[in-house]
Amino acid sequence: MATRNKSARPAGKTARVEVKNEVKSSGKPGSSRNHGTIEPAKGKLGVMIPGMGAVATTFVAGVEAIRKGLAKPIGSLTQMGTVRLGKRTDGRSPKVKEFVPLAGLDDLVFTGWDIFEDNMYDAASKAGVLDQRLLDELKPFLSTVTPRAAVFDHNYVKKPTAAHQSLKAFEKAMRDNDEMIAPSMVYAYASLIEGVPFANGAPNLTVDLPVMLELSRENEAPICGKDFKTGQTLMKTVLAPAFKARLLGLSGWYSTNILGNRDGEVLDDPGSFKTKEESKLGALEHILQPALYPELYGNIFHKVRINYYPPRGDNKEGWDNIDIFGWLGYPMQIKVDFLCRDSILAAPIVLDLVLLMDLAKRSSELRGLAIQEWLSFYFKSPMTAPGLYPEHDLFIQLMKLKNTLRYLKGEELITHLGLEYYD
Ligand SMILES: NC(=O)c1ccc[n+]([C@@H]2O[C@H](COP(=O)([O-])OP(=O)(O)OC[C@H]3O[C@@H](n4cnc5c(N)ncnc54)[C@H](O)[C@@H]3O)[C@@H](O)[C@H]2O)c1
């Protein structure tokens, strides 16, 4: 959740929309027009994180290290990425953070909830992702970030029920302490009712529920999710589009992971793995479109496994065996062994989502849309409007994201047609 003091509240509840400073179209003859207005990024931006574990502490400690000039924001599109504008010959490629008005890292303030009482210094030390020397240097700041009391029970809700279909039914179920209301739903509800954007990095169905869509739209609180696209699925959504682009067939994809952090422990449990499995399996089907290419992708054996293996800690090994076939059906194999660090891959995603969701909230064009599909780039199971299939191909997702920024700023969208260079 990313919240601005008061200004994050839905229009109508508090008066604070600063019209005079809005970024408006230049209106120059021949120039394209901005789409809508974007309020400036003023004041502090509050980031509230349900669960101060490995990802959250790596993100917050990382932001502080970057602010102190001790490290670079590697992996963050908002901090290091550029957007090409106009023709390839124009030489205009500003940084994303210079092109659209994003909050600065110095404006971020953090809090969150956890079932443990550890402050961020202790939690980060236990997570064991970052070097202890770095954490010690950041201790004066990290130890001031302490969790609030969690909403907690052991229920986990497998399927949406009547309690999730409307705001009225949901609020009644909350009052009745209905077990169909999972803790994650309470956090999402609290955020959206206040008009605060909510990004779901976990694989649960919390913001996919009709009640959350209703709240999001009503309070102009953008939502997106779900499940950060970090290690193995990131690789899948790079490789699978390459096979499809070259019309190479696929007969099997076996993926296994070993990891030793708390997330690994949770996912070793078959019940908790179920939603993760669904979120990991969906990507291939959507990218490869077996209905359009039955001879190539109509019969794929796809298996995903996650095994808890404590010696690895947060350092996951994601191993893929891919059986493909080419010309005349000749089989080939690809092996990928990604020795990755889960939270190191997730932290820049959290940063980007905080800044881009805040941008969405300040954009008159985006804030009323509820689902921010342009942020699919960051998720294993991107949310879409009902009836629309999700876009999983990483490079299409990136184009969608950058074109959305160009669109907001009235710049020409890039289609890669390129015929104009040969006139
Ligand atoms: N690359 C990645 O690390 C990655 C990728 C995709 C998704 N995710 C998701 O991100 C989330 C965080 O991952 P992590 O590795 O930091 O896990 P973690 O186990 O280190 O941290 C989760 C934290 O949430 C706390 N918690 C549990 N129930 C809570 C509740 N009801 N209220 C408040 N806090 C609660 C736990 O005490 C723990 O501190 C998970 O849902 C995970 O599936 C992570």
**Within a domain: residue 159?**
yes
Q: Is the CB of 343 under 6 A from ligand 1?
A: yes
Average pLDDT over residues 92-111: 97
**Within a domain: residue 423?**
no
Q: What is the pLDDT of residues 298-341, one digit of tens each?
A: 999 989 888 888 888 778 899 999 999 999 999 999 999 999 99
Side-chain half-sphere CA neighbours of 400 within 13 A: 16
197 and 70 belong to one structural domain? yes
Shortest-distance Cα residue to atom 36 of ligand 1 = 51
355 and 278 belong to one structural domain? no
Distance from the alpha carbon of residue 33 to the mean position of ligand 1, in angstroms: 42
Q: What is the pLDDT of residues 145-163, one digit of tens each?
A: 999 998 877 766 677 788 8
Instruction: With a cut of 80, say whether residue 32 has pLDDT above it.
Output: no
Cβ atoms of 244 and 294 within 8 Å: the answer is: no
CA 110 to chain centre: 18
Rounded to the nearest integer, the mean pLDDT of the chain is: 88
**pLDDT given for residue 419 in this prediction:** 83
Domain count, the chain: 2
Instruction: With a cut of 90, say whether residue 12 has pLDDT above it.
Output: no
Q: Is the CB of 264 under 6 A from ligand 1?
A: no
146 and 287 belong to one structural domain? no
Instruction: With a cut of 50, say whether residue 243 has pLDDT above it.
Output: yes
Average pLDDT over residues 369-398: 94
**Within a domain: residue 90?**
yes
273 and 354 belong to one structural domain? no
Average pLDDT over residues 291-302: 94
Instruction: With a cut of 50, say whether residue 25 has pLDDT above it.
Output: no
131 and 256 belong to one structural domain? no
215 and 146 belong to one structural domain? yes
CA distances from 310 to 155, 264, 269, 307, 379 (A): 25, 8, 14, 10, 26
**Within a domain: residue 125?**
yes
State the residue range of the domain holding 288: 232-341
Pocket test for ligand 1, best of 49, 57, 60, 115 (most atoms within 8 A of CB): 115
266 and 133 belong to one structural domain? no
Q: Is the CB of 202 under 6 A from ligand 1?
A: yes
Average pLDDT over residues 118-136: 96
* Range picked from 76-80, 125-129, 154-158, 312-316 for highest mean pLDDT: 76-80
**pLDDT given for residue 222 in this prediction:** 97
**pLDDT given for residue 11 in this prediction:** 36
Residue 278, amino acid: E
Shortest-distance Cα residue to atom 27 of ligand 1 = 51
Instruction: With a cut of 60, say whether residue 13 has pLDDT above it.
Output: no
**Within a domain: residue 215?**
yes
Name the nearest CA neighbour of 289 among 389, 220, 367: 389
